[in-house]
Amino acid sequence: MPVLRTKTSRMWLPDALRGLALLNMLAYHAMYDWVYVFGHESSWYNIWAPGCHVWQQYICWSFILLSGFSFPLAKRPAKNGLIVAGCAAVLTFAVLLFLIGYILVTGIPHLKPSLFQWNYTSENVSMMPAILTTVETTALALLLAVPLGLFTAVYLNEYAKRGNKLVNVIRITTETLSGIPSIVYGLFGMLFFVTRLHWGYSLLAGAMTLAIMILPLIMRTAEEALMAVPDSYREGSFGLGAGRLRTVFRIVLPAAGPGILSGVILGIGRIVGETAALIFTAGTMAQIPGLFQSGRTLAIHMYVLSGEALHMNEANATAVVLLLVVLLMNMLSALAAKKLTKK
């Protein structure tokens, strides 16, 4: 005798698909850890291959579609959503603690003075040139991307008319650029800056490529921060006789400062952790570079050392320093945001 399905009965198909999606995600990350964290070889798993990219997108979209389909079927969607969000937050925090702990435990014992010598040799594999190159690349890329992205966001939010077709085109283009893989930016930088402009593998070519890469991120976060400023601020300024330009620079931008700096922090994180684009544009020379000289950042330095498989201990120590550099940059940005908020 067939069993009639009620509204409160569970649907086996979404449950089965969710389970398969979860197992698929666990398999992908297990392979990633096996190959790139623990250093084992694999003849078919390569994150730069198109097949792995399709695998990544399949995992993401399967969870998104299943979540959207299953949400109306829940008996208590709000409560279940809070439970899922809480579990995700706990899991994320646990994974973060595990990664940081793993990096510190495996890297701190191998920190030694020879790693901080000014000149790199095959014996000391010093990371000091990579540290200075990382700072130079980050500063130059931000110097190029932040003013352009910020002023573009100001135009889109403060000056452009609503419904302007140009604004819609710029926003669609920005969203499209945000989804392009970094290796595509690297290929563009190699073809245009390195080859076409004859800059060669240089710090300037790498910084220009990174500036183009983080420009959509800076634009979108700055625009969202400007949109979050209440219109009463602008109306009050106009009522006191201030012009639009004075209102933007004296009222709107200071109020949106913390949100803009959040985008800058995200841009710093992407610059410091980037490898693919810089290998194609800045090269891998272990030296303190000038504008038109090749150099390697900390991320590339760690990648080269781990790829050679001769200096894994030094690569782990480099990971510790890279983590500290990122934390220091984020702390400085957060301190600047607090000072802007107080003003």
**Helices and strands in the chain, H and E counts:** 14, 0
Query: pLDDT tens digits, residue range 288-312?
Result: 888 899 989 988 988 888 877 778 8
SS percent in the chain: helix, strand, coil, step 5: 75, 0, 25
The pLDDT assigned to 1 comes to: 40
Q: For the purposes of burial, counting CB atoms within 10 Å of the CB of 171, is it exposed (0-12), middle (13-18) or buried (19 or more)?
A: middle
Q: Dihedral angle at the C-alpha atoms of 91, 97, 98, 99, nearest 10 degrees?
A: 110
User: pLDDT of 18-53, one tens digit each?
Assistant: 677 777 777 887 888 777 777 777 777 777 777 777
pLDDT band for position 342 (50/70/90)? low
What are the b/e assignments for 152-161, b being 16+ CB within 10 Å? bbbebbbeee
Q: Give the pLDDT confidence of 119-134 residue by residue, as tens digits.
A: 888 888 888 999 999 9
Buried b (16+ CB within 10 A) or exposed e, 257-294: bbbbbbbbbbbbebbbebbbbbbbbbbbbbbbbeeebb
- Residue in 212, 215, 305, 225 with CA at minimum distance from that of residue 260: 225
Domain with CATH 1.10.3720.10 in the chain: 128-342
CA–CA dist 81, 75 (Å, integer): 11
CATH architecture of residue range(s) 128-342: Orthogonal Bundle (1.10)
Give the C-alpha separation, 156 to 159, whole Å. Answer: 6
pLDDT bin (cut points 50, 70, 90) of residue 343 is low
Q: Is the pTM of this model over 0.95?
A: no
* Spatial distance between the Cα atoms of 205 and 289, rounded to a whole number of angstroms: 12
Q: Mean pLDDT over residues 163-184, rounded?
A: 82
3-state DSSP call for residue 223? helix
Question: Is residue 252 within 8 Å of 340, Cβ to Cβ?
Answer: no
In one letter, which amino acid is 239? G
Higher pLDDT, 11 or 215: 215
Q: Tens digits of per-residue pLDDT, 203-239?
A: 999 999 999 999 999 998 998 888 888 888 888 888 8
DSSP per residue over 118-140, as a string? SS--TTT---HHHHHHHHHHHHH
